[in-house]
């Protein structure tokens, strides 16, 4: 189980604190509402060059020749590179997979010999400004012999390279006697379900700005996100530099959602160019590029079978799925397929389980993680199965879930599978309790009565629900260093990153609570490799769990140091002292300041007589380690209305109920739920990357790739539960980043079925008007 | 190249620009006002929304030469004498931003609309705010913030 360092402090007492647990305003907002943020495109250096990527317009083909002469001749063009110029740079590696044998499928930074998707970088232009670079890119002429395309991951695998098929691996997991369970089953339910290709699509496109500072022999990369330390190490390795000679910087990040901050070809190209051309190099992705170049996600087809007894209790699930990885295996390796396989069983007691995930390449944009990766997909699949079982056995879908949900008494619940390389142990939860709370808050029974009346009046309306289990707090480690300066200012340096989620505020609240200072006096430094040696970044809903716990440890350590020094100065006992609002006080008389933390910090300076022979500074660094993830859970309830004439689905009412163990800032947690829901809504009803039969992408503008606007948003109600604090960390927190997205597709599908009065009608996402109309127009 | 002149948040600017230079590039790169963001460059997302003679416009869909002789306002001009504009304050108070990338566009859209129609109906406000995209918040808090600011700004 989880362990912390030897001086691990006690768990934080339950309940709201002075600042922890309070909906305080965010530290991040000041510069952002003033237009004073620093997003990638806002970074500029003197003498910088603009980089423009020439991308393949063919989905699969042999790269015969690239004529760059005309581009090179354009005034203002400094260089044009093709694969020949970067042949010494290895392809982009992966970090997040245990699966072996994926190496032949890695993406080169510029295509060599073959192109495999529309949007693949084939050449790159460097020019004095972005307009000239774009002009020159248009002058590069590619001759490509078109080859047959693979667009369906469920079709027979083809050849990727001689000796390598388009199926690099099959992710298999199994426990229990699945075959015996199916033989003994009262009923077997089989479904064929698909989730469409969509992705994070943050409002800020990617960007990368590199410069080489010769004076210090340091290569800097700006505009980074998510995984600075790993990316730094890999960039250093691929360019043959020591990691201490490469530094990554994070400004503001305009949304991450899984896709941003992975190591992409463009990141390496700007670094390489900054070194070779000896000028800063800036690349800003445009939106059309983004929609074909940045990671896609989600696309899977599942053939699932469930075995149940006469009471509807699950005996076994056997799932075969086809994961459409796109053209290359990027940094995540097979992570999404692995997560899908590991997380599919969700909240239910499942005696036997077998899954085979066919991880397959196609001639589309490479895919990787997007908010609730592998869970948005498998919650849809699993909850569709549960609904189908309820129909087959003529059971109420809620009663069926009640019979199968793991109970509080069964926690922690060990499931004999792993995901992300760690065993799945559902750490804590009251699933049935939360379902009941959610049904009550949604007014499920009243909604049902209302639906009956509205249907009688001719409305096409329905309600549905879906349960989910999330995962969060992926280890193994994160560190935080907290220092108090001689003015009483607090600096918190974290190896995590910000993707706009509010992590600075959350860490400051935890620090403020433990230390006894105003959270607004805490400066949170993140995403910078030059300020902290290690870090595991911001992804997998890990920051509040991992960096939050490290913050708590470090803040208590600094507090202890401050009280020891103050006790010496005041000739008191440290245990009689406390810190309130930056002042050391007697615990018995908290209103009377005795000495300011600023003064304590001064007394702990390197020239202070108190510090002779000791390491100076009111500063401490602490690390938190975790070998297991913690599993938030929840339920989504949806009420939808269908326009029979157009097939449009409108969500009228929605509830996200999510147990997060402890909400550090309920306002921000609610923001995560509602924003997460909006992204789930996109995947459920609107967003899809479509391709024609030659692999040409058809969703390359925001007129074709439809992100929900305010008009599509229902009123979303949020139930934040704190019933099941995680036993795995001192704060009891579980991640809150992905639960809002996880079950949206599943819940809306159930509600649409109900509105159509056709159980099982919805077998794929997104639920497009034409699909709905097919059902409304057919006689029942 | 064309010589143009406009005011940006009250300050006069004279620029020499290519005819094809977009207004948003001129604002960001020539005037250095990087608070106006570029999200799609095809007029859908609204991150680049500014006020042109008081009207919200997509600055990615305009050429800089079209701004000749006009008065431009961007997010940088909202704060007056160290005091945030009521909309900026409301966005903070109502947690109407997460990553903050779309925020300047939403702020300028809302400023333009509320200055013209202070008593805008809920339905019309939904309509107007649906013209910009936000990927983080799910919009609910943006509507709350704009509503709260509208009350404060009402004469």
pLDDT by residue (tens digit) across A385-408? 999 999 999 999 999 999 999 999
What is the least distance, in Å, from the CA of A355 to any CA of chain B?
A: 33
Mutation site for B-interface testing, chosen from A35, A40, A741 by largest number of B Cβ within 10 Å: A35
Q: Averaged over A469-474, what is the pLDDT?
A: 93
Residues in chain A within 8 Å Cβ distance of B20? 131
For residues B90 and B69, membership in a common domain is answered with no
Q: Averaged over B20-40, what is the pLDDT?
A: 98
Q: How many CB atoms lie within 10 A of CB A445?
A: 10
- Whether residue A361 contacts residue A326, with contact meaning beta carbons closer than 8 Å, is answered with yes
What is the least distance, in Å, from the CA of B9 to any CA of chain A?
A: 13
> Is position B149 within any domain?
yes
Q: A334 burial class (0-12, 13-18, 19+ CB within 10 angstroms)?
A: buried
Residue of B nearest to A35 (CA): B35
Is the model's pLDDT at A3 over the cut of 80? no
> Is position B81 within any domain?
no
Is the model's pLDDT at A96 over the cut of 70? no
Residue A492: strand, helix, or coil: strand
Query: How many angstroms separate the Cα of B72 from the Cα of each of A25, B43, B116?
Result: 31, 18, 16
Q: Does A30 touch chain B (CB under 8 A)?
A: yes
| Residue position matching structure tokens 């090179």 | A72
Please give the tally of structural domains in chain B. Answer: 2
What is the least distance, in Å, from the CA of B59 to any CA of chain A?
A: 15
Q: What is the pLDDT of residue A707?
A: 98
For residues B92 and B68, membership in a common domain is answered with no
Q: Does A205 touch chain B (CB under 8 A)?
A: yes
A678-706 confidence digits (pLDDT tens): 999 999 999 999 999 999 999 999 999 99
Q: Which of A62-76, A286-300, A603-617 has the lowest mean pLDDT?
A: A603-617
> Residue A41 and residue B28: Cβ atoms within 8 Å?
yes
Q: Does B33 touch chain A (CB under 8 A)?
A: yes
Q: How many CB atoms lie within 10 A of CB B68?
A: 14
What is the least distance, in Å, from the CA of B29 to any CA of chain A?
A: 9
- Confidence band, pLDDT 50/70/90 cuts, at residue A512: very high
Query: How many angstroms separate the Cα of B102 from the Cα of each of A170, A198, A205, A638, B32?
Result: 40, 21, 12, 28, 18
For residues B52 and B102, membership in a common domain is answered with no
What is the least distance, in Å, from the CA of B134 to any CA of chain A?
A: 7
> Residue B75 and residue A35: Cβ atoms within 8 Å?
yes
- Confidence band, pLDDT 50/70/90 cuts, at residue B154: confident
Residues in chain B within 8 Å Cβ distance of A204? 37, 39, 99, 101
- Confidence band, pLDDT 50/70/90 cuts, at residue A94: confident
Sign of the C-alpha dihedral, residues A644, A650, A652, A653? positive
Strand residue runs (E) in A166-289? 169-175, 187-195, 207-213, 218-222, 246-248, 281-284
> Residue A41 and residue B91: Cβ atoms within 8 Å?
no
Residues in chain B within 8 Å Cβ distance of A76? none
Of B47, B92, B135, the CB nearest to A33: B92
Q: How many CB atoms lie within 10 A of CB B51?
A: 21
B34-89 confidence digits (pLDDT tens): 999 999 999 999 999 999 999 999 999 999 999 999 999 999 999 999 999 999 99
> Residue A287 and residue B98: Cβ atoms within 8 Å?
no
> Is position B80 within any domain?
no
Q: How many CB atoms lie within 10 A of CB A518?
A: 15
Residues in chain B within 8 Å Cβ distance of A36? 35, 76
Distance CA A748, CA A584 (A): 54
Mutation site for A-interface testing, chosen from B136, B137, B144, B149 by largest number of A Cβ within 10 Å: B136
> Residue A702 and residue B40: Cβ atoms within 8 Å?
yes
Residue of A nearest to B20 (CA): A131
Tokens standing for residue A740: 């809002």
Q: Averaged over A631-637, what is the pLDDT?
A: 98
Nearest CA among A35, A41, A31, A38 for reference residue B76 = A35
For residues B116 and B146, membership in a common domain is answered with yes
Residue of A nearest to B134 (CA): A203
DSSP symbols for A433-460: HHHHHHHHHHTHHHHHHHHHHHHHTT-E
Distance CA B75, CA A560 (A): 44
The helix, strand and coil proportions of chain A, stated in percent and rounded to the nearest 5, come to 30, 25, 40
Residue of B nearest to A709 (CA): B130
- Between chain A and chain B, the number of residue pairs with CB atoms below 8 A apart is 165
Residue of B nearest to A27 (CA): B92
Which B residues in the span 93-112 are in contact with A, Cβ-Cβ below 8 Å? 93, 95, 97-104, 107
Q: Does B92 touch chain A (CB under 8 A)?
A: yes
Distance CA B93, CA B77 (A): 20
- Confidence band, pLDDT 50/70/90 cuts, at residue A97: low
Of the candidate CATH numbers 3.30.365.10, 1.10.10.350, 3.40.50.1980, 3.40.50.300, the domain formed by A300-473+628-777 belongs to 3.30.365.10
| CATH number attached to the domain at A3-36+474-625 | 3.30.365.10
A518-568 confidence digits (pLDDT tens): 999 999 999 999 999 999 999 888 999 999 999 999 999 999 999 999 999
Q: What is the pLDDT of residue A419?
A: 86
- Whether residue A281 contacts residue A181, with contact meaning beta carbons closer than 8 Å, is answered with no
Q: Does B36 touch chain A (CB under 8 A)?
A: yes
For residues B101 and B136, membership in a common domain is answered with yes
Tokens standing for residue A529: 């490799």
Of B36, B95, B140, the CB nearest to A667: B95
Q: What is the pLDDT of residue A105?
A: 96
For residues B66 and B91, membership in a common domain is answered with no
Tokens standing for residue B69: 């002789």
Q: What is the DSSP letter of A198?
A: B
For residues B60 and B11, membership in a common domain is answered with yes
> Is position B9 within any domain?
yes
> Residue A674 and residue B137: Cβ atoms within 8 Å?
yes
pTM: 0.97
For residues B15 and B58, membership in a common domain is answered with yes
A300-473+628-777 shares the fold of A3-36+474-625: yes
A719-733 confidence digits (pLDDT tens): 999 999 999 999 999
- Whether residue A739 contacts residue A470, with contact meaning beta carbons closer than 8 Å, is answered with yes
Query: How many angstroms separate the Cα of A545 from the Cα of each of A2, A664, A739, B43?
Result: 12, 10, 15, 39
Q: Averaged over A403-431, what is the pLDDT?
A: 94
Residue of B nearest to A710 (CA): B130
For residues B101 and B55, membership in a common domain is answered with no
> Residue B127 belongs to what domain range?
86-153
Residues 6+ apart with CB under 8 A from A424: A342, A343, A414, A415, A417, A418, A629, A631
Q: What is the pLDDT of residue A398?
A: 98
- The rounded mean pLDDT for chain A is 96
Of A33, A701, A711, the CB nearest to B126: A711
Strand residue runs (E) in A197-313? 207-213, 218-222, 246-248, 281-284, 300-308
Is the model's pLDDT at A6 over the cut of 70? no
> Residue A668 and residue B74: Cβ atoms within 8 Å?
no
Q: Does B83 touch chain A (CB under 8 A)?
A: no
Tokens standing for residue A161: 């390279």
What is the least distance, in Å, from the CA of B28 to any CA of chain A?
A: 8
The phi, psi pair for A23, rounded to 5°, reads: -85, 60
Q: What is the pLDDT of residue A227?
A: 95
Query: What residues does each domain of chain A span?
Result: 3-36+474-625, 40-148+205-253+260-293, 300-473+628-777
Of A28, A679, A713, the CB nearest to B100: A28
Q: Does B126 touch chain A (CB under 8 A)?
A: yes
Q: Does B19 touch chain A (CB under 8 A)?
A: no
Distance CA A767, CA A780 (A): 19
Distance CA A559, CA A543 (A): 22
What is the least distance, in Å, from the CA of A590 to any CA of chain B?
A: 30
Residue B63: strand, helix, or coil: strand
> Is position B134 within any domain?
yes
Of B18, B101, B140, the CB nearest to A255: B101
Q: What is the pLDDT of residue A7?
A: 59
Q: Does A131 touch chain B (CB under 8 A)?
A: yes
Nearest CA among A329, A363, A362 for reference residue A105 = A329
Q: Does A499 touch chain B (CB under 8 A)?
A: yes
Is the model's pLDDT at A474 over the cut of 90? no
> Is position B13 within any domain?
yes
Distance CA A427, CA A377 (A): 23
Asked whether this complex has an ipTM greater than 0.90, the answer is: yes
Distance CA B146, CA B115 (A): 12
For residues B12 and B70, membership in a common domain is answered with yes
B131-144 confidence digits (pLDDT tens): 999 999 999 999 99
Q: Does B18 touch chain A (CB under 8 A)?
A: yes
Q: Averaged over A181-195, what is the pLDDT?
A: 98
Q: What is the pLDDT of residue A780?
A: 59
Say which CATH number the domain at B38 has: 3.10.20.30
Tokens standing for residue A680: 């789930």
Query: How many angstroms separate the Cα of A108 from the Cα of each of A68, A91, A328, A329?
Result: 19, 4, 9, 11
Q: Averaged over A144-173, what is the pLDDT?
A: 97
**CATH architecture assignment, domain A40-148+205-253+260-293:** Alpha-Beta Complex (3.90)
Residue of A nearest to B127 (CA): A711
């Amino acid at each position: 189980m989880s362990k912390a360092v030897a001086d691990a402090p006690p768990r934080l007492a339950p309940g709201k604190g002075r600042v922890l647990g309070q909906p305080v305003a965010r530290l991040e907002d000041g510069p952002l509402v003033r237009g004073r943020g620093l997003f990638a495109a806002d970074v500029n250096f003197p003498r910088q060059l603009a980089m423009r990527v020439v991308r393949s317009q063919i989905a699969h083909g042999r790269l015969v020749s690239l004529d760059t002469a005309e581009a090179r001749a354009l005034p203002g063009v400094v260089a044009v590179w093709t694969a020949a110029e970067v042949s010494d740079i290895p392809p982009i590696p992966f970090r997040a997979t245990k699966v072996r044998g994926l190496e032949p499928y890695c993406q080169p930074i510029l295509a060599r010999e073959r192109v495999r998707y529309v949007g693949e970088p084939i050449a790159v232009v460097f020019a004095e400004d972005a307009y000239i670079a774009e002009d020159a890119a248009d002058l590069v002429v590619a001759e490509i012999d078109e080859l047959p395309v693979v667009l369906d991951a469920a079709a027979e695998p083809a050849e990727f390279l001689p000796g390598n098929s388009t199926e690099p691996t099959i992710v298999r997991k199994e426990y229990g006697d699945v075959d015996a369970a199916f033989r003994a089953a009262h009923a077997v339910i089989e479904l064929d379900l698909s989730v469409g290709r969509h992705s994070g699509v943050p409002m800020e496109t990617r960007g990368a700005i590199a410069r080489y500072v010769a004076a210090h022999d340091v290569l800097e990369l700006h505009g980074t996100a998510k995984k600075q330390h790993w990316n730094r190490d890999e960039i250093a390795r691929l360019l043959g530099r020591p990691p201490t000679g490469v530094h990554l910087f994070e400004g503001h990040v305009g949304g991450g959602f899984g896709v941003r901050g992975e190591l992409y070809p463009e990141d390496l190209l700007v670094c390489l160019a900054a070194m070779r051309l000896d000028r800063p190099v800036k690349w800003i992705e445009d939106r059309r590029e983004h929609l074909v170049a940045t990671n896609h996600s989600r696309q899977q087809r599942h053939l699932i079978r469930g075995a149940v007894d006469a009471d509807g209790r699950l005996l076994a699930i056997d799932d075969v799925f086809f994961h459409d990885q796109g053209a290359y295996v990027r940094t995540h390796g097979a992570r999404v397929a692995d997560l899908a396989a590991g997380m599919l069983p969700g909240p239910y007691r499942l005696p036997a389980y077998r899954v085979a995930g066919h991880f397959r390449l196609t001639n589309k944009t490479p895919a990787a993680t997007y908010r609730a990766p592998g869970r948005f997909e498998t919650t849809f699949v699993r909850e569709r199965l549960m609904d189908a079982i309820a129909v087959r056995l003529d059971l109420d879908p809620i009663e069926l879930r009640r019979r199968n949900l793991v109970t509080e008494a069964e926690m922690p619940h060990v499931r004999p599978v792993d995901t992300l390389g760690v065993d799945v142990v559902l750490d804590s939860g009251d699933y049935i309790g939360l379902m009941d709370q959610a049904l009550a808050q949604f007014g499920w029974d009243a909604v049902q009565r209302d639906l009956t009346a509205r249907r009688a009046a001719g409305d096409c309306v329905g309600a549905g629900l879906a349960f989910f289990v999330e995962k969060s707090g992926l280890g193994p480690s994160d560190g935080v260093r907290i220092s108090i300066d001689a003015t009483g200012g607090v600096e918190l340096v974290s190896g995590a990153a910000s993707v706009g989620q509010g992590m600075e505020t959350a860490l400051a609240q935890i620090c403020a609570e433990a230390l006894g200072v105003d959270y607004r006096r805490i400066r949170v430094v993140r995403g910078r490799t030059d300020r902290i040696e290690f870090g595991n970044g911001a992804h997998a809903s890990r920051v509040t769990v991992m960096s939050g716990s490290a913050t708590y440890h470090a803040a208590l350590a600094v507090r202890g140091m401050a009280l020891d020094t103050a006790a010496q100065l005041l000739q008191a006992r440290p245990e009689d002292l406390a810190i309130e609002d930056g002042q050391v006080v007697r615990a018995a008389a908290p209103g009377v300041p005795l000495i300011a933390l600023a003064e304590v910090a001064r007394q702990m300076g390197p020239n202070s007589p108190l510090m002779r022979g000791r390491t100076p500074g009111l500063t401490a660094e602490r690390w938190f380690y975790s070998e297991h993830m913690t599993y938030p859970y929840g339920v989504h309830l949806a009420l939808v209305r269908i326009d029979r004439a157009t097939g449009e689905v409108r969500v009228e009412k929605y509830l996200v109920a999510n147990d997060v163990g402890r909400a550090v800032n309920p306002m921000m947690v609610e923001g995560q739920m509602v924003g997460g829901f909006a992204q789930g809504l996109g995947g459920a009803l609107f967003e899809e990357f479509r391709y024609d039969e030659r692999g040409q992408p058809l969703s390359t503008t925001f007129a074709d790739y439809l992100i929900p606007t305010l008009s599509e948003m229902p009123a979303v109600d949020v139930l934040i539960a704190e019933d099941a604090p995680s036993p795995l960390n001192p704060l009891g927190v579980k991640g809150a980043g992905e639960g809002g997205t996880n079950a949206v597709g599943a819940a809306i599908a159930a509600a649409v079925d109900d509105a159509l009065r056709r159980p099982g009608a919805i077998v794929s996402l997104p639920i497009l008007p034409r699909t709905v109309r097919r059902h409304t127009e057919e006689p029942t | 190249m064309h010589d143009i002149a406009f005011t940006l948040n009250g300050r006069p600017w004279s620029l020499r620009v290519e005819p094809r230079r977009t207004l948003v590039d001129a604002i960001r790169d020539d005037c250095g006002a990087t608070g106006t963001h570029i999200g799609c460059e095809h007029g859908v997302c609204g991150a680049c929304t500014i006020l042109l003679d008081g009207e919200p416009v997509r600055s990615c869909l305009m050429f800089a030469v079209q701004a000749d002789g006009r008065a431009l306002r961007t997010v940088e001009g909202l704060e007056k004498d160290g005091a945030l504009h009521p909309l900026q304050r409301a966005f903070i108070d109502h947690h109407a931003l997460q990553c903050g990338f779309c925020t300047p566009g939403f702020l300028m859209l809302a400023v333009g609309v509320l200055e013209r129609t202070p008593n805008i109906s809920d339905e019309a406000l939904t309509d107007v705010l649906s013209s910009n995209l936000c990927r983080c918040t799910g919009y609910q808090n943006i509507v709350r913030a704009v509503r709260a600011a509208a009350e404060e700004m009402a004469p």
